[in-house]
Structure 1
Amino acid sequence: MNRFHGTGVALVTPFNADGSVDYDGLEKLINYQIDGKVEYLVSLGTTGESATLSKEEKKKIWAYTAEINNGRVPLVAGIGGNYTAEVIESIKDFDRNGYDAILSASPYYNKPTQEGIYQHYKAISESTDMDVLLYNVPGRTASNVSPETTCRLAHDFKNIIGTKEASGSFDQFNQIMRDKPADFLLISGDDPVALPMIALGGAGLISVVGNALPFELSEMIRLSLKGDFKAAQPLHLQLVEFTRLMFAEGNPAGVKAALKQLGICGDYVRLPLVPASAGLNQEIAAQIEKIRP
């Protein structure tokens, strides 16, 4: 499970001005992350605007990401949805070459019961021998995966190896840490709370901010995992305002604005998302200058 200790980055999907996928930008982004010492990469999570990509675009992006990565760091593919049978079909159709695990968000919009969520992930787990990371993000799905359901899944299915927790509830984090199997990974899904989650015993972070500042963020996470919170705290505090700006007008508009300013890729997003405003761009530029003078 050490593959997923540390910093994972949920990659953005760079686009060209005409809305097509910018593969040159994606190559530059992947190399930038690996040069920035992140531990693993997540392709086509929410930050990758997966909801606005066609099946064929997803296949091409996954294949291209694996090609450019070339085994340098572990890769995770975001494959989720609110129709269980369709998710299973997508996993079966997925070219797993170069990938180490699947990250699957809890069903959105349907608002299933806890038993429905359990049966959804049970069906996914039994359909594949790939490792699966749960993803609980109530702010997007309109339902919460309870600690009881998380730990039930963790105990019942060996290939469900961890959860990306973005509930924001420390009561929930505490319960999962107390009741989970020893080798089950609790991974922060929110940049701002990664350090305190690691203090509870968390395995690290799947980050948005890391797209723009991989070195600074991954160093903070590594220090935290070593238990050196005295050294990690200044790095964490240095990133507080930058992190807030990344989400001020929605994800990934903020981090794409930062990536454009850093010369990695453009800031184009697909509707219904829109690029960051001029005012937010100015604030982001000021923060980058402050962090990287």
Structure 2
Amino acid sequence: MKYEAAKRKLRGSIAPVVTPFNESGSIDFDALENLINWHIESGTHAISVTGTTGEPSSLTTEERVKVMEHSAKVINQRVPFVPGTGSTNHEETLYLTKKAEEIGADAALVIVPYYNKPSQHALYKHFKAVADSVSIPIIIYNIPGRTATNLEVKTLAKLNADCENIIGVKESNKDFEHINRVLLNCGRDFLLYSGIELLCYPMLAIGGAGHISATANITPGKVAEIYDAWAEGDVKRAQDLHYELMPLNDVLFKDTNPAPLKAALGMMGKIKPVLRLPMDLPSQELQNEIREVLSSYVELAPEVPAK
């Protein structure tokens, strides 16, 4: 099979890296490079950018291309590269997915279009057109809590049957019955990734290929180790990590991702804690809570006094 090698390679923790900004709001490419190198050194299995955690809706199409191109150069094939190329606009999705192929991405992560609430038939036509436009693997990204549309299992199964290069799905879906039925209907070799932090370990138990977890931005080594421990048969270690990370997972989602995440990375000295409006940092009360929880997991940079 043409995509069997890709299926073997695209397993583990695919870190959805944030897009760092300078105080002016411009993209901080130096910080992005440092983050990617830190991830690879920490054991992250693959890198993704410009997915939900990368604030793609706050970037222009040109900026998304620049982030993808810069990331590909920094990664330099050390680990697989899976940029997010989806949009609510069909032509933009086609353009970005083709760009991903041109720069040598190992796969493209394509989100269910958000806001416009397409029918299942329209979703099938959209994803089939995207898959047909490139030869690289496609991983569909289903996150109904943010797109207002759930890609039904029967639609996904039809896409899998009709498009050889649709090889997996990131399920940010809290309906665990739905998730089980993905592998039942798409086949056990279909790549199933968790996009819900508390389901990263449980999804491995039913045959998942790994996870695309925002928490990997904070503790990349531990998030990767959940997969490594499971793959090595160390179930207890995987379970221990699952519960160890739960308080961190909880606090990082008390406001809309990636706002708490960027606040946390700022506290770690990894980035400037800047988002573009209409996104913004969490309340000071939540930031204090994030700092308290974070201190149990990582070393924090000294606090900068408020001016």
Q: TM-score range by the shorter chain?
A: over 0.9
Instruction: Return 190-199 or 272-281, whichever deviates more.
Output: 272-281
Inter-partner Cα distance in structure 2 for 1:50 and 1:17: 18
**SS of residue matched to 2:47:** strand
**Offset at 1:81?**
1.8
Inter-partner Cα distance in structure 1 for 2:100 and 2:82: 12
Per the alignment, residue 161 of structure 1 pairs with 167
Per the alignment, residue 80 of structure 2 pairs with 74
Match of 2:248 among 236, 242, 248: 242
Inter-partner Cα distance in structure 2 for 1:59 and 1:31: 20
Cα distance change on mapping 1:202 and 1:279 into 2, 3 Å: same
Per the alignment, residue 133 of structure 2 pairs with 127
Per the alignment, residue 270 of structure 1 pairs with 276
Kept in 1, the 8 Å contact 2:268–2:298? The answer is no
Cα distance change on mapping 1:224 and 1:130 into 2, 3 Å: same
Kept in 2, the 8 Å contact 1:10–1:45? The answer is yes
Task: Look up the equivalent residue of 2:182 and give its one-letter code.
Answer: I
Per the alignment, residue 113 of structure 1 pairs with 119
- Check if 1:201 corresponds to 2:195: no
Task: Look up the equivalent residue of 2:41 and give its one-letter code.
Answer: D
Match of 2:142 among 129, 136, 155: 136
Per the alignment, residue 150 of structure 1 pairs with 156
| Percent of aligned pairs sharing the same letter | 38
Per the alignment, residue 3 of structure 2 pairs with none
Moved over 3 A (4+): 92-95
What stretches of structure 2 of length at least 5 have no aligned partner?
A: 1-6, 300-307
Aligned residues: 293
Per the alignment, residue 224 of structure 1 pairs with 230
Kept in 1, the 8 Å contact 2:142–2:150? The answer is yes
**Offset at 1:90?**
3.1
Kept in 1, the 8 Å contact 2:101–2:136? The answer is no
Cα distance change on mapping 1:94 and 1:70 into 2, 3 Å: closer
Task: Look up the equivalent residue of 2:156 and give its one-letter code.
Answer: T
What stretches of structure 1 of length at least 5 have no aligned partner?
A: none
Task: Look up the equivalent residue of 2:194 and give its one-letter code.
Answer: S
- Check if 1:192 corresponds to 2:237: no
Task: Look up the equivalent residue of 1:211 and give its one-letter code.
Answer: N
Task: Look up the equivalent residue of 1:36 and give its one-letter code.
Answer: S
Q: How does 1:90-109 map to 2 (within 5 A)?
A: 90-94=96-100, 96-109=102-115
Match of 2:288 among 276, 279, 282: 282
Inter-partner Cα distance in structure 1 for 2:8 and 2:189: 10
**Offset at 1:116?**
1.2
Per the alignment, residue 57 of structure 1 pairs with 63
Task: Look up the equivalent residue of 1:142 and give its one-letter code.
Answer: A
Per the alignment, residue 32 of structure 2 pairs with 26
Task: Look up the equivalent residue of 1:106 and give its one-letter code.
Answer: V
When the two chains are superposed, the root-mean-square deviation of aligned CA atoms in Å is 1.5
| Deviation by residue 1:71-100 (Cα, 9 ceiling, x = unmatched) | 111101111122323322333345632311
Kept in 1, the 8 Å contact 2:51–2:83? The answer is yes
| Deviation by residue 1:142-194 (Cα, 9 ceiling, x = unmatched) | 11001111111112211001000111111111111212134210111111111
Cα distance change on mapping 1:95 and 1:202 into 2, 3 Å: closer
**Offset at 1:284?**
2.0
**SS of residue matched to 2:212:** strand
Inter-partner Cα distance in structure 1 for 2:79 and 2:263: 25
Kept in 1, the 8 Å contact 2:100–2:108? The answer is no
Inter-partner Cα distance in structure 1 for 2:25 and 2:54: 14
Kept in 2, the 8 Å contact 1:130–1:159? The answer is yes
| Deviation by residue 1:197-238 (Cα, 9 ceiling, x = unmatched) | 111111110110001110111112221233422111121111
Inter-partner Cα distance in structure 2 for 1:56 and 1:180: 35
Inter-partner Cα distance in structure 2 for 1:80 and 1:8: 17
Task: Look up the equivalent residue of 1:51 and give its one-letter code.
Answer: S
Kept in 1, the 8 Å contact 2:86–2:93? The answer is yes
- Check if 1:7 corresponds to 2:13: yes
Inter-partner Cα distance in structure 2 for 1:131 and 1:93: 13
**SS of residue matched to 1:75:** coil
